[in-house]
Amino acid sequence: MAPLRLGSLAPNFDAETTTGPVNFHEFIGDSWGVLFSHPADFTPVCTTELGEVQRLVPEFNKRNVKVIGLSTNDLTDHAKWVDDINEVNNVTVNFPIIADKNRKVATLYDMLDSVEHDASNVVNGIPFTVRSVFVIDPSKRIRLILTYPASCGRNFDELLRAIDSLQLSDKQPIATPANWKPGEDVIVHVSVPTEKAKEIFPEVKETLPYLRFATLPEETN
């Protein structure tokens, strides 16, 4: 199987989850999707991450994004673990978490760790997943891939920021600069001549011939 890259069609799959059976492409539907993996249930970093994602569900909803987690335990373990997540984080997890005990989805998305990278994340020769994140658009194309080691919790505020940038660049001929946040100036796409950019944006500042900042119209922010 060819490696997954930006622009690849996200592989479809059927899976059991904490909210019932899921066909992945049908689950995403006309929305964006975030698929994110966890090494195993009852692990400390994952417990904080899933609580944070639940807290951010309203933010994902604003962006028309559906989230779905994955861990390599069965549904019985998932149910017990969700109780812990809810208690520790003072939330009620209501998004699906895939039970990927046979590592079918983890293999499909190349999420599995290796002894060479982290021997502690491979038990009895069986690898657990790294902290993978796939952002998938409504056409089911992969738009962003992040891979964190098992030891490093993810920054979900950064994930939201990246989704904002992706969605904005789908609507406007722009790119976003380092540390950009919604409402700040953007970069005019290199394919757009400066004179044309001045017709599109309220204000264009040419710092260099190839670096032009633009203010977005109010209704875009």
CB 71 within 8 A of CB 53: no
Strand partners, 102: none
Identity of residue 125: G
Query: What is the Cα–Cα distance from 101 to 124, expressed in whole angstroms?
Result: 15
Q: Which residue carries 């492409």 as its tokens?
A: 25
- Known catalytic membership, residue 46: yes
Candidate list 46, 50, 97, 197, residue with the active-site label: 46
At 143, is the secondary structure helix, strand, or coil?
Answer: strand
DSSP-assigned states of every residue in 113-127: --TTT-GGGEETTEE
Active site residues: 46
